[in-house]
Structure 1
Amino acid sequence: MTTIGDIDPQRHVRDVVRQSGSSFLWGMRILPKPRRDAMYAIYAFCREVDDIADEPGKEVDKRAQLQEWRAEIDRLYDGAPTYPTAKALLDPIRDYDLPRAEFLTVIDGMETDARPVVTAPSMDELMTYCRRVAGAVGMLSIHAFGATRPPAPDIAVALGNALQLTNILRDVNEDAMRDRLYLPRELLEKHGVRYDTAAAVLHDDNTAAVCADLARTARDYFAATDALLAQFDWRLMRPAILMMEVYRRTLNRLEARGWDKFREPVRVSRPEKLWVAFRYSLF
């Protein structure tokens, strides 16, 4: 019988990343091994707390599990982690000074997702959510990249916003089936869309205009990231740039598909991801 203590931490986080099929894998692979291992551990942490929030179950149970992860972060920074993923984070937090507050910020974001229903946050609430679930990951990542001087933190937050808004636009239908509506209430009200339930929003023709507006906001964050990268040694941010290009292609495809076709999935193909990874690994 295998116990938690028997699990090899490095193998565990690598398995989590590989089994996820995430686009983030392509960006991590181009890093030197020590930094790549750090990113694997960061990603595995994010994946595990996200799974707590997303899996079926009572909100009280999910919050209890997330609270236990808060306690594990305390143990990690005291040098005595017990979870395999936290053990894999032990060297990265020492080697790359990963900020404790950002791990806790990710958990804050997952507490939003742990609710049984999410209905039309305000724009301010939505951007706070993006900062927690995406910007915090970016802030941890720049430490693993060795790219922390300004404007790297601003890049991390702007790009996190762009990626998360793209995720929200891509997943409107899937989220609605789980009683989650992340489209901001200001835009829904602007276009006369009632948001009593998440599913009802899918059947309103004006929801397409809401998505188009939010897509413009995502574009603005991509443009802000481009402008900030022009002030920085972009080679230090290659994994982030790779992710940006994959997600920018996703947003392009969503717009080309049309915002009234929520049920038609949009994906960037494996060959395209390979091409982007190859392109940014050459320099």
Structure 2
Amino acid sequence: MTPEQYVQDKAAASGSSFYYAFLFLPPPRRAAITAFYAFCREIDDIVDEVSEPGVAQAKLLWWRKEVAQSFAGQPSHPVMQALMPHAAAYSIEPAHLQAVIDGCQMDLEQTRYLDFAGLQTYCHLVAGVVGEVASAIFGRTEEATIRYAHKLGLALQLTNIIRDVGDDARRGRIYLPVDELQRFGVKAHEILNRGYSDRFVALMKFQAERAHACYDEALRLLPEADRRSQKPGLMMANIYRTLLREIERENFQVLHQRISLTPLRKFWIATRTQWRGR
């Protein structure tokens, strides 16, 4: 299997909405974003799939060394072998990849966040930096587009957090800020025990409103000159915002299930965005 086949399989197997946003890109950009996305999946899977913290830490350390070695001209992992030919063309730097690893390191070391400011730091590493790199691969020409990419990354990550509240709690992590749980009178054990209440729904409505505000701000920040190049990001915004509205329609029943969109619906949203341009 070639490195290119490896990253393609990694991206497709994840079932992620990102896969649909890549379909309309020209081959060089699609190859670059697929390799970068595969890197992000490799790192994220360590946290999600490795149950022993010591083993997970060792794997992240290995990846830190692999990133440094790859930028020194000696990639050994197929993901890095697929990614490195695109690094110079799209201004992908070691610091970008190390930031993604830093975010997953936080997942190993921190399972709660006292306030939204702390959560934003985490979201910046696992989503904002990813958005910045992706916007460059898509063809960013305006410096202001970086602010859009970071804000969109935050919106997408907040949507993930809302969708995965139940799954994350069963893995020992609650991303909802502690001070907001307290404000709405929701206890951690209620989330762990799948305890729905009016208080929980009110808390989740607050989370959803903030995510919607981030989507709105991201779209306001996107310069008109880059709107065409950033269509894949707009596809992601539309797919994830549709998911968020679906969660709202189901009254935030996210503790016992993972609400999702069908592949056909994701493809339809991506296609509609491609032709409408927004």
Deviation at 1:114, TM superposition (A): 2.6
Instruction: Output the CA distance in 1 between the equivalents of 2:186 and 2:113.
Output: 11
State the identity as a percent.
Answer: 35
Equivalent AA in structure 1 for residue 269 of structure 2: V
> What TM-score do the two structures reach when normalised by structure 2?
0.93
Deviation at 1:222, TM superposition (A): 0.4
Equivalent AA in structure 2 for residue 99 of structure 1: E
Does 2:195 match 1:203?
Answer: yes
| Structure 2 partner of 1:86 | 80
Cα deviation code 1:163-204 (max 9, x no counterpart): 00000000111111111111111211111223368515x426
Cα deviation code 1:200-248 (max 9, x no counterpart): 5x42622222111111110110010111125443111011000000000
Residues 118 and 67 (structure 1), Cα distance of their counterparts in 2 relative to 1, 3 Å cut? same
Instruction: Output the CA distance in 1 between the equivalents of 2:118 and 2:145.
Output: 24
2:96 to 95, 102, 105: 102
Cα deviation code 1:57-94 (max 9, x no counterpart): 22121111101111111011111111110011111102
SS in 2 for 1:183: coil
Task: Report the aligned-residue RMSD.
Answer: 1.8
Does 2:121 match 1:141?
Answer: no
Instruction: Give the number of aligned pairs.
Output: 275
- Unmatched tracts of structure 1, length 5 or more: 1-6
Deviation at 1:274, TM superposition (A): 1.9
| Structure 2 partner of 1:4 | none
| Structure 2 partner of 1:44 | 38
- Spell out structure 1 runs of 4+ moving beyond 6 A: none
Does 2:7 match 1:9?
Answer: no
Residues 261 and 54 (structure 1), Cα distance of their counterparts in 2 relative to 1, 3 Å cut? closer
Equivalent AA in structure 1 for residue 54 of structure 2: V
| Residues 151, 232 of structure 1: 8 Å contact kept | no
> What TM-score do the two structures reach when normalised by structure 1?
0.91
- Unmatched tracts of structure 2, length 5 or more: none
| Structure 2 partner of 1:151 | 144
Cα deviation code 1:230-269 (max 9, x no counterpart): 5443111011000000000011111111025532442222
Instruction: Output the CA distance in 1 between the equivalents of 2:153 and 2:128.
Output: 5
Residues 130 and 274 (structure 1), Cα distance of their counterparts in 2 relative to 1, 3 Å cut? same
Instruction: Output the CA distance in 2 between the equivalents of 1:58 and 1:96.
Output: 36
Instruction: Output the CA distance in 1 between the equivalents of 2:242 and 2:113.
Output: 26
| Structure 2 partner of 1:20 | 14
1:76 to 61, 70, 75: 70
| Residues 96, 143 of structure 1: 8 Å contact kept | yes
